[in-house]
Amino acid sequence: MTRYDAQPIAATAHKELRTTDDAGRPCVPYTATEADAGSPLRCCLRPIEPGERIALVSYAPLRRWAAATGAQPGAYDEQGPVFLHATPQACPGHVPDPDRYPFDRPGALRTLRRYDTRGHIAGGRLLELPADATTALDAALDEAFADPEVALVHVRAVEYGCLHFTVERPRTR
């Protein structure tokens, strides 16, 4: 099995979203409370801690990927809510853990939505994370990238539909 690189929101997008989100609304920072604790931050792929300056913004991951790659997702372009750090000083950036994926809580429901190079949906998979969530995610991503048409996978929470992280097809060496 392959270990894949979970990708957070790109630094450029993070900077832009701290001003105006992908729905055209201004960013409204606030201080995280106990109620926010544990929710996923998409800028550094870790849980929110009370007291952090965060914002809930609308993010269009496929639109931004398409702009960088020349894809034309058409109706597959969508946006949804994500939490991020509201100031650059507050975000340490993503530090990959080679032993696990972000937000891989056993019992959580995830959908792995596949996209082709045009940015069109090329299938998907529902996954309830077992005790060994890392191995299950490795296998599900292996399955996704076994299809040579798949260029990108969005790993999303089923309950809220929100994006947790993206995985791009590994480049061959």
Quick one: what percent of the chain has pLDDT higher than 70?
A: 99
64-83 tens-digit pLDDT = 999 999 999 999 999 999 99
pLDDT digits (tens, 9 = 90+) for 97-149: 989 999 999 999 999 999 999 999 999 999 999 999 999 999 999 999 999 99
Domain spans of the chain, in order of start: 11-90, 109-168
Q: What is the pTM of this model?
A: 0.93
Residue 1: band (very low, low, confident or very high) from pLDDT cuts 50, 70, 90: confident
In this model, does residue 62 exceed pLDDT 90? yes
H, E, C per residue of the chain: CCCCCCECCCHHHHHHHCCECCCCCECCCEECCCCCCCCEECCCCEECCCCCEEEEEEECHHHHHHHHHCCCCHHHCCCEEEEEECCHHHCCCCCCCCCCCCCCCCCCEEEEEEEECCCCEEEEEEEECCCCHHHHHHHHHHHHHHCCCEEEEEEEECCCCCEEEEEECCCCC
Residue 172: band (very low, low, confident or very high) from pLDDT cuts 50, 70, 90: low
**For residue 173, what pLDDT is reported?**
47
